[in-house]
Chains A and B, each alone.
Chain A
Amino acid sequence: MNNRIRELRARDNITQDQLALAVGVRRETIVFLEKNKYNPSLKLAHDIAKYFGLPIEEVFLFNEV
């Protein structure tokens, strides 16, 4: 699973700290997400997508094998 968090942050000019505070996680978790080193829970994925005003499937991209 990949995601567009870095791209969306750049679009909205938001720092990792701001996003972390908005969705209630540590900045480190956002770093891990952007590096694709962590798959978030459904709740966190929902919160991040809601923050950017997009559906989950437009933020988190599933690679179908």
Chain B
Amino acid sequence: MKKSYLVFIVATLVLISAILWFYNSGTSFKILDNLHLVVIFVVVFFAVFIGVRRFTSERRGEPSEDELSKKIMQKASSASYYISLYLWLLLMYIADKGKYETDVLFGSGILGMALIFFLTWVFFYFRGLRNE
């Protein structure tokens, strides 16, 4: 099975499962109370989006990835790693204050990294990679 199909199927299954789980839990939705859930949805939507892009490219007979998409991924990865260092610095500061549990801070860090990667990818995608 091709990589793009696998990414697409896994991301779709995770998204559908999350929606069903949330729908059946019967809880009322408040964005601030469910911030982590919102970030997970954003990340999974991103994975679905990437999967759909690769899938449609392959259907048109184009490569699922080419030099531009790879460079955008590389650029977004390196920039998001750099920005994430500051996120972890902030979380260390919050941990020092002792307001939140360690597992909450770790979860926030991981989800924050995912969100930063998504945002940097969007930034480079719309800005382009000219003269670099």
Contact = CB atoms under 8 A, between A and B. Distances in A.
Interface of A: 1, 17, 20-21, 24-29, 32, 35-41, 44
B2 interface: no
Contact of B62 (A1, A27, A32): A27
Given A38-B68, A39-B129, A39-B131, 16 more contacts: A24-B63, A25-B66, A26-B66, A26-B69, A27-B60, A27-B62, A28-B68, A28-B69, A29-B67, A29-B68, A32-B128, A36-B130, A37-B130, A39-B132, A40-B67, A41-B67
B57 interface: yes
Contacts, number: 45
Given A32-B68, A38-B68, A26 B129 contact: no
**The 8 A-B residue pairs with the shortest CB-CB distance in the complex, in nearest-first order:** A37-B128, A25-B66, A29-B68, A26-B62, A26-B66, A26-B57, A38-B129, A38-B128
Interface residues of B, number: 15
Nearest to B64: A26
B97 interface: no
The DSSP consensus for interface residues of chain B is: loop
Contacts of B60: 17, 27
A27 B68 CA distance: 11
A25 B128 contact: no
Contact of A25 (B68, B129, B131): B68
B39 to A, nearest CB: 27
Contacts of B131: 1, 39
